[in-house]
Amino acid sequence: MRKLVLLAGAAMCWAVPAAAQSGLDGRVGKLESEMRAVQRKVFPGGTPSIEPQITGAPAPEREIGAPATPVIADLTQRVGSLEQQMASMTGQIEQAQYRVRQLEEQFAAYRKEVDARFNSAGPAPGTGGPVESTGATTPAPAVPAPGRKPEASAPAPAAGKDPARAKLVAAIEKPSTAQPDEDDYIYGYRLWAAKLYPEAEAQFRKVVADYPRSRRASYAQNLLGRSYLDDGKPSLASIAFYDNYKKMPDGERAPESLYYLGQALMKLNKPADACKVYGELTDVYGAKIDAAMQANIARARVAAKCK
């Protein structure tokens, strides 16, 4: 009889941990499933799973038949910590997505405003027809506010009509190697460095259109914006920079385009929007920003009076 009582007591001791273990198994399985979903969201390229940073202390050896309550309590605490990490990670992802949506909505409204102002402007004086468009991906410039110098659209290079300019363009050496995308980009860079901006703009648009998957596409789109900016066309520059960030976010010049987007917005007297862009740049590319750009961002934030 005494043996039966002991066996019954032992069975009860083991039944409680088993029931708790069953409940934890369900929570752990759910967490693992959610963690995999979050990892697929954060690392769409298939980056290896993140190893949990929370590890419990090694469980002390115990005699057979001893209650398992400390082990279950430790496991419960670890699962609770994992749930908190999951909630924090999910919140950060949602905040980042919200900021991106805000930026997209602001630029969609800005594009619409630019198009509406241009369409209401009518034909350019003396042309007898509509102003030439700047290309399929670049809307025409906005009608300037009073006191602002009008931004010209991007006409075809006039080198053929101006012998002196044609001579300057002809003096720019065209590279000739086995890499046409590299050659076309370098030629555009040389035109830009020589301050032949209309010709450079046309060349950069050609690089992006002809070699959209080349690493030089990001470079060319960024220098297209730089060329517009140097040519006194901040509206066109802002759109070119934003397109580089939006369409080629992993491109090598996407962070630089975000920085110059802020500069273009400052030229357009939009410091509040520039501050949002600088914040987006730091949030998205913080790990890729070198010391020189960090210093530039800090100065730009001061100039824009960012909070």
% of residues, the chain, pLDDT over 90: 45
Q: Would 54 be classed as within a structural domain?
A: no
Q: Would 19 be classed as within a structural domain?
A: yes
> What are the tens digits of pLDDT across the range 43-64?
555 555 555 555 555 555 555 5
Average pLDDT rounded to a whole number, residues 138-150:
40
Same domain, 77 and 181: no
pLDDT at 34 over 70: yes
Q: Would you place residue 114 in the very low, low, confident or very high pLDDT band (cuts 50, 70, 90)?
A: low
CA atoms within 13 A on the CB side of 17: 15
Same domain, 300 and 216: yes
Same domain, 223 and 96: no
DSSP result, 136-147: SSSPPPPPPPTT
pLDDT at 221 over 60: yes
Average pLDDT rounded to a whole number, residues 227-235:
96
Q: Higher pLDDT residue, 81 or 181?
A: 181
Report the C-alpha gap between 76 and 74 in whole angstroms.
5
Q: Would 139 be classed as within a structural domain?
A: no
Q: Are 240 and 224 in contact (CB under 8 A)?
A: yes
Report the C-alpha gap between 286 and 281 in whole angstroms.
7
Whole-model pTM? 0.53
CA distances from 90 to 42, 99, 113 (A): 10, 14, 35
Nearest Cα neighbor of 235 from 141, 116, 136 is 141
Nearest Cα neighbor of 236 from 141, 305, 118, 109 is 141
Q: Would you place residue 149 in the very low, low, confident or very high pLDDT band (cuts 50, 70, 90)?
A: very low
Q: Would 53 be classed as within a structural domain?
A: no
Q: Give helix 271-285 / helix 254-267 axis angle, nearest 10°.
A: 170
Q: Are 221 and 248 in contact (CB under 8 A)?
A: yes
Helix ranges (H only) for the chain are 2-42, 69-121, 163-170, 180-193, 197-210, 215-230, 234-247, 254-267, 271-285, 291-304
Same domain, 76 and 182: no
Among 60-74, 180-194, 256-270, name the one with the lowest average pLDDT: 60-74
Among 105-114, 138-147, 176-185, 280-289, name the one with the lowest average pLDDT: 138-147
Among 44-53, 156-165, 219-228, 278-287, name the one with the lowest average pLDDT: 44-53
Residue ranges making up the domain that contains 79: 1-23+71-100
Report the C-alpha gap between 82 and 293 in whole angstroms.
36
- pLDDT mean across residues, the chain: 75
Q: Would 124 be classed as within a structural domain?
A: no
Q: Domain tally for the chain?
A: 2
3-state secondary structure of 251: coil
CATH number at residue 176: 1.25.40.10
Q: Would 125 be classed as within a structural domain?
A: no
Average pLDDT rounded to a whole number, residues 171-184:
94
